[in-house]
Structure 1
Amino acid sequence: MAEACCPASCGELIQGWVQGGEHLISCPIDWFSTVEVSDAAPLTTERPKMRAMLSAVLKHFDLPAELGKGLRIRFDSTIPVGKGMASSTADMAATAQATARHLGHELSEIELARLCVALEPTDSTMFHALTLFDHKAGHVLAHHHWQPEVELLILESAERLLTRDYHRLDRQPHLLAGAPLLGQAWQHMEQAAERHDPAALGQATTLSAIASQQLLAKPLFAELLALVEHEDLLGLNVAHSGTVVGLLLDPARHDGERLAAHLSRPPFTNHYPRVHRARMVAGGVR
């Protein structure tokens, strides 16, 4: 038996046309999908993508597909599905590493990334560092080795949007129109990582979120931006291919409990019935 876990993401820090294509940096948080692989008959409660990943790992190690009939997948995850919180990536990456470990191997981050993107567009949460990632081709464009001390208030919508449905949208014109804003966001992101500056990080995420409104508008976006300004928060970020919004807080300066209580009333609850508190963590499969 072997186990692995991978963090969720509160949307993306940035996503859009940057560095020559549509790329992203995920926002790993302290929610996890934990997967266990053992020698036993498969369960009917498995998620299909987990089984698909187990089969992909067997193929990766040139092992017969028949071996999968004797491998059981158990999982524990409270990550909301279809909200843009990288639930599928967490499930797939954790399954891949748990399967590899059960077989006596350890997959590298880039191997995990390639296995995941072979199944569907993927978040960058399998990387320990904040990583600018081609979520469709699996290429790494940059790593930022800095762990921000940031708390998030996550506004969860009742609406769902599956990754495959988002990628069916005609996004190219909007992505290109948003490229100047994403260029600015990328500059702020690089400054944030170089100077260890959460304020610059918030500027990057907010610019990317503004650009994303042209593609996938979030309800009460103007009101949330006004709250960021009024409370002098670090910024906000969004799930660019999902429905959640995150408010970035400095835990040393901002009262997360008070702000969560404020967001737990109308008009916010009309569109975001659940508010969660989380903190940014390093990515990577544990």
Structure 2
Amino acid sequence: MNATARCPGSCGELIQGFVAGRECLVSCTVNLFSEVTLEEVSYFCKEQGPKKSREALTKSFEFFGLSAEDTYNIEIKVNSSIPAGKGMASSTADIVATIRASALLVGKEIDHAEVASMAVSIEPTDSVLFPGLTLFDHLEGSIIEPLGSAPPLDVLVLEPYETLDTLKFRETDYSEVKRKNQDKIEYALWLLKEGIRTQNSLLVGEAATISSIVNEEVLQKPKLRSIIDCAKKAGAVGVNVAHSGTVIGILIDNAYTDAERVKRLLKREGLLKEFGRVYLCKVLV
């Protein structure tokens, strides 16, 4: 018996920071996926597979009233196109896909809030698990606010060579810096909501750009201001970042420009040297 499920990754976040006194985020979900297959086998494989997926499998079985021992002969296979260590929700996608595959394997149903609660108990979790853009308290899971679907957007992913150990990064407490910028993030959230309500990509892009600039006080990105200026000149609607990662995204509405034009101008200005890969994704929600 086996079961397969998948979860998308992200190109960082559209916004992240304090909202009404709690740190929240809205992931920039893209068409990169982690696919997890669980298969019952005849041999013992308690330690097999990624550690976080194994933990998610165990927690899932316990949630469904089964024992941890019932997972010992279940093999985990992860097939992911999401780069790791860049702030692209690779761990969240692995965990969430494992939880969903676990439910399928045992013939149970589980809703998004239950998946979120389980995932947050393992590590801070991106909002890619939800079916639309969602404001999410990624640390405790206490806030889940569906926002709706973004207007059609592409994102030019600027993926650097460098990775970031997210858990180690979170050992430093940046809450005071983030709390200081709460008004800016709440304004960005208002712009994002208006952009979604009116399907105005310019407002969505402006919200993301504000949040990316605010985050420079927490985690700087090389030449971010120059990238923002260049992207705007090329007709992009905005720039977003991984707030606890290294990736940068250029948000593109094809009504205004196209990815090749943006990429050409960035290259001409010498702004792509820091990045190992530059490629196009679609914003999924």
Amino acid at match of 2:163: R
Any conservation in 1 of the 2:10–2:27 contact (CA below 8 Å)? yes
Q: Which has the higher contact order (CA 8 A, sep 6+)?
A: 1
Deviation at 1:87, TM superposition (A): 0.2
SS in 2 for 1:259: helix
Alignment of 1:94-113 (within 5 A): 94-113=97-116
Structure 1 partner of 2:164: 161
Q: Structure 1 stretch 224-233 or stretch 257-266: which is displaced more?
A: 257-266
Q: Work out the number of aligned pairs and report it.
A: 282
CA distance in 2, matches of 1:265, 1:93: 40
Residue number among 185, 202, 206 corresponding to 2:205 in the alignment: 202
Partner residue in 1 for 2:33 = 32
Structure 1 contact 124–135 (Cα < 8 Å) conserved: yes
Farther off after superposition, 173-182 or 230-239: 173-182
Shift of 1:169: 1.4
1:237 aligns with 2:207: no
Shift of 1:150: 0.2
- Identify the residue that residue 216 of structure 1 maps to in structure 2: 219
Per the alignment, residue 4 of structure 1 pairs with 5
Q: Does the residue aligned with 1:188 lie in a helix, a strand or coil?
A: helix
How far apart in 1 are the matches of 2:48 and 2:233?
Answer: 46
Q: Deviations over 1:170-197 (max 9, x none)?
A: 2022102221211210110111121111
User: What is the deviation of 1:261?
Assistant: 4.3
1:62 maps to amino acid: G
Whole-angstrom distance in 1 between the partners of 2:269 and 2:226: 12
Q: Distance in 2 between matches of 1:229 and 1:101?
A: 45
Kindly indicate whether the alpha-carbon contact (under 8 Å) linking 1:264 and 1:274 is maintained by their aligned counterparts in 2.
no
Offset, 1:44: 7.1
The answer for unaligned runs of 5 or more in structure 1 is none
> Which of residues 113, 123, 130 is equivalent to 2:133?
130
Q: Distance in 2 between matches of 1:124 and 1:97?
A: 15
CA drift of 1:273 comes to: 2.0
Q: 1:193-217 CA distances to partner (integer Å, 9 max, x unpaired)? A: 2111111100110000010001000
What is the CA distance between 1:70 and its match in structure 2? 1.2
Check whether the contact 1:10–1:84 (CA below 8 A) recurs between aligned residues. yes
Q: 1:265 to 1:95 in 2, by over 3 A?
A: farther
SS at match of 1:81: coil
Amino acid at match of 2:23: E
Q: Percent identity?
A: 36
Q: Which residue pairs with 1:188 in the alignment?
A: 191
Distance apart, 1:78 and its partner CA: 1.8
User: Would you say the 8 A contact 1:33–1:87 is kept in 2?
Assistant: yes
Residue 88 of structure 1 is matched in structure 2 by: 91
User: SS at the partner of 2:273?
Assistant: helix
Q: Which residue of 2 aligns with 1:21?
A: 22
After TM superposition, give the deviation of residue 32 of structure 1 in Å: 0.3
Please tell me whether residue 225 in structure 1 is matched to residue 228 in structure 2.
yes
Instruction: Tell me the amino acid that sits aligned with residue 66 of structure 1.
Output: E
Q: Give the gaps of 5 or more residues in structure 2.
A: none
Amino acid at match of 1:214: E
Report the Cα distance in structure 1 between the residues aligned to 2:232 and 2:272, rounded to whole angstroms. Answer: 20
1:50 equivalenced with 2:61 (yes/no): no
Report the CA distance shift for 1:39/1:7 in structure 2 as closer, same or farther (over 3 A): same
The Cα offsets for residues 133-168 of structure 1, whole Å up to 9 and x where unpaired, read as: 110111234211223200000101111112212211
Q: TM-score, normalised by structure 2?
A: 0.94
TM-score where L is the length of structure 1: 0.94
